[in-house]
Amino acid sequence: MSQLLIASDHAGFILKEKLKDYLTKKGIGVKDLGTNSLDSCDYPLYAYELGKNISSGKFKRGILICKSGIGTTIVANRFPGVRAALCHNLKIAKLSRQHNDSNVLVLGSAFVKPDLAKRMVTAWLNTEFLGGRHLRRVNLIKKIDKKIREGAK
């Protein structure tokens, strides 16, 4: 696997650091886009950086963390080709890969504790996209995204 991106705001900082350590110990390369402290910061800036890097193709997958996960999901999904999935349990993390080919896992630190987050990340990284009827739907998402970018109705 190529290097994995990770980013958080201040509310996700502690969970981000724990996941970074966990992934590194498993031999997975992690590029940290910040934040680097518990000091209050603005989540859109970190979600923007991660989304931009996924959308450009420089990186294949990433993990975003904020308190609820909602804000970072909204920002990341504004980028073409980004399929950010806000997940709160193991099953939905797997389904986000199997059915939606998600390339950004979003976690809400207020809802997902470190042990569960580690299991979710491992499952998400090891779960393959099923293709088939799901590929048709992901391709429809891509077509809709293209229409929106071109200003079509």
Active site residues: 66, 99
Buried b / exposed e along 90-113 (16+ C-beta atoms within 10 A): eeebbbbbebbbbbbbbbbbeebe
- Residue at token pair 């997940």: 87
β-strand partners of 39: none
Q: Which two tokens stand for residue 132?
A: 């088939």
With 0-12 CB in 10 A as exposed, 13-18 as middle and 19+ as buried, what is 44?
middle
CA distance 153 to 151: 7
H or E element, residue 32 = strand 30-32
Those residues with Cβ within 8 angstroms of residue 43's Cβ, 6 or more apart along the chain or in another chain: 8, 9, 11, 66, 71, 72, 75
